[in-house]
Amino acid sequence: MEWILALSVMLGSVIVLIMLGLPVVMAFMTANLIGAIVFFGGEIGIIQMIRNLRPSVASYSMAPIPLFVLMGEIMLQTGMAKRSIEAIDKLISRVPGRLSVVAVLGGTSFAALSGSSVANAAIVGRTLLPEMRALGYSNALSIGPATAVGGIAVLIPPSALAVILGSLAKISINELLISGIIPGIMMMIAFLAYIMIRCSLNPSLAPMEPESERVPFRERVGPVLRNVLPLMLIFLAVVVAILGGFATPTEAAAIGVLASFLAAVAYRCLTLANFFAAFMESLKFSAMILFIICCSGTFSQILAFTGATSALTRAVIEGSNLTPFAIVVMMLAMLIVLGFFMESASIIMLTVPIFFPILNAIQVDILWFGLMMMVALEIGLCTPPFGILLFVIQGVLDGKVSMGTIYKAVFPFIGLQILVLAIILFFPGTISWLPALLQ
């Protein structure tokens, strides 16, 4: 049973190194070095591993990652994102849980422009949480939506994570990006419905602002026309370019970057300093993501070379006596559990080499599963104890709120995310019709 040894060495090395406190990317690289020495023949194996790193990222399909990241950073560093959220804030009046609703709508809007869940949660939190807490909003309707809405950026294009998953799992990136729009909108509607129902039943959870602070309708519409609609046109340009077959994801991402740059120039908010900051942040994040992909590609090759991937596939299909649907449910449950302890890119690295050969063997629609995997990864961003968005919001609040309080506030929204995942699981048609338009 050499494949069991190979799987144990590779996965065991990663788990032990992470538990020892090594960064996840370095843990995977170290595991790859161990695998290359043990299974590829020492020094020759290390040389071969190094040669295999470049092909993992030297692909045209990887180009959207830095471009989507740069698009979002331009929005963030120039302040355009913050102004769009403030404009939505002024538009809505006398709605139950108004600022909570603004958090969801504003976060969804920025998600359609940035593709970064961390940036999304941070900008919504910084913009709205101080005011919500000053007005006496409950934690459930202030911290909860500000945290949960950050994850929508994982689903709605431009999503760098979708590009990573599509590239590694051999899923059409076009279809994966487009199909993410539907669950993103479903999440938004579920969050809004929950907020308004709870506030209608118990208005004290989200007190209304004093009448004197209400802004006339004309003054509320103007900022939306100036600061929101033009930016939404950028999102539409990216989506329509992909959906209409006019552009590849890479070309659509380039269109988004150019449009973001021109918008910043038009708004007169582009300076040399914030433009340089946008490039530097994009460079850091993109380098990290591409290094992760390099490690994942080598990890997959070692598992395939040792026969662990094919043997595990046979064991699951022939030895478990589970139906394909049960296998899918089991995999989704594993993804959610991994989300308790690991961040999204690392989960993709760990599971794609194992899951997708099995899914292909049992003839599961990998686009359907890939989208559900994205939703499961989104859930992992908010789940205790190590959901990254929980720490982002605690940082926004300067540590004045305990992690236990944040856990309780976000828990109902995790339930809504699981509900959306269940709908997609039992009713695949809810998401299949949109990517079908590409064909």
pLDDT at 192 over 90: yes
Question: Does some domain include residue 277?
Answer: yes
pLDDT band at 143 (very low <50, low <70, confident <90, very high): very high
- Ramachandran bin of 171, using left for φ above 0, alpha for ψ from -120 to 50, beta for the remaining angles: beta
Quickly count: other Cβ atoms within 10 Å of residue 146's Cβ.
34
The two three-digit tokens of residue 373, written as one number: 């995997």
Cα 316 to Cα 1, 322, 362: the distances in Å are 15, 8, 10
- The one-letter amino acid code at 320 reads S
Which of 78, 79, 85, 75 is closest to 127 using CA atoms?
A: 85
Question: Does some domain include residue 16?
Answer: no
State the DSSP code for 215: P
* pLDDT score at 212: 44
pLDDT band at 431 (very low <50, low <70, confident <90, very high): confident
Q: How many whole angstroms separate alpha carbon 377 and alpha carbon 347?
A: 8
Question: Does some domain include residue 30?
Answer: no
Backbone angles phi, psi at 306, to 5 degrees: -80, -10
Q: How many whole angstroms separate alpha carbon 164 and alpha carbon 169?
A: 8
**Cβ(105)–Cβ(146) below 8 Å:** no
Which of 184, 162, 305, 243 is closest to 437 using CA atoms?
A: 243
* pLDDT score at 216: 65
Read off the pLDDT of residues 306-346 as tens digits, 9 standing for 90 and up. 777 677 666 766 666 788 899 999 889 888 887 776 677 77
* pLDDT score at 153: 84
Enclosing domain of residue 289: 59-436
**Cβ(72)–Cβ(113) below 8 Å:** yes
pLDDT at 211 over 60: no
Least trusted range by pLDDT, from 128-137, 141-150, 168-177, 294-303: 294-303
* Number of H-type helices and E-type strands within the chain: 22, 0
Question: Does some domain include residue 21?
Answer: no
pLDDT at 1 over 60: no
Q: How many whole angstroms separate alpha carbon 18 and alpha carbon 25?
A: 9
Q: How many domains does the chain have?
A: 1
Read off the pLDDT of residues 8-29 as tens digits, 9 standing for 90 and up. 777 788 778 767 777 666 777 8
* pLDDT score at 379: 92
Read off the pLDDT of residues 354-371 as tens digits, 9 standing for 90 and up. 889 889 888 899 999 999
pTM reported for the whole predicted model: 0.77
Least trusted range by pLDDT, from 73-77, 83-87, 164-168, 206-210: 206-210
- The one-letter amino acid code at 91 reads L
Read off the pLDDT of residues 97-115 as tens digits, 9 standing for 90 and up. 888 988 898 888 877 777 6
Q: How many whole angstroms separate alpha carbon 45 and alpha carbon 305?
A: 12
Question: Does some domain include residue 198?
Answer: yes
* pLDDT score at 91: 75
Question: Does some domain include residue 155?
Answer: yes
* pLDDT score at 299: 73
Question: Does some domain include residue 34?
Answer: no
Which of 410, 438, 361 is closest to 173 using CA atoms?
A: 438
Q: Span 231-246, mean pLDDT?
A: 78
pLDDT at 189 over 90: yes
Q: Find all residues with CB under 8 Å of 381, minimum gap 6, and list them.
A: 117, 150, 151, 154, 339, 344, 387, 388, 389
Question: Does some domain include residue 50?
Answer: no
| Percentage of residues of the chain with pLDDT beyond 70 | 85
Q: Does a cis peptide bond (omega within 30 degrees of 0) precede residue 157?
A: no
Mean pLDDT of all residues belonging to the chain: 81
Q: How many whole angstroms separate alpha carbon 426 and alpha carbon 406?
A: 31
pLDDT band at 185 (very low <50, low <70, confident <90, very high): very high
Cα 439 to Cα 27, 274, 433: the distances in Å are 40, 40, 10
- Ramachandran bin of 389, using left for φ above 0, alpha for ψ from -120 to 50, beta for the remaining angles: alpha
**Cβ(238)–Cβ(256) below 8 Å:** yes
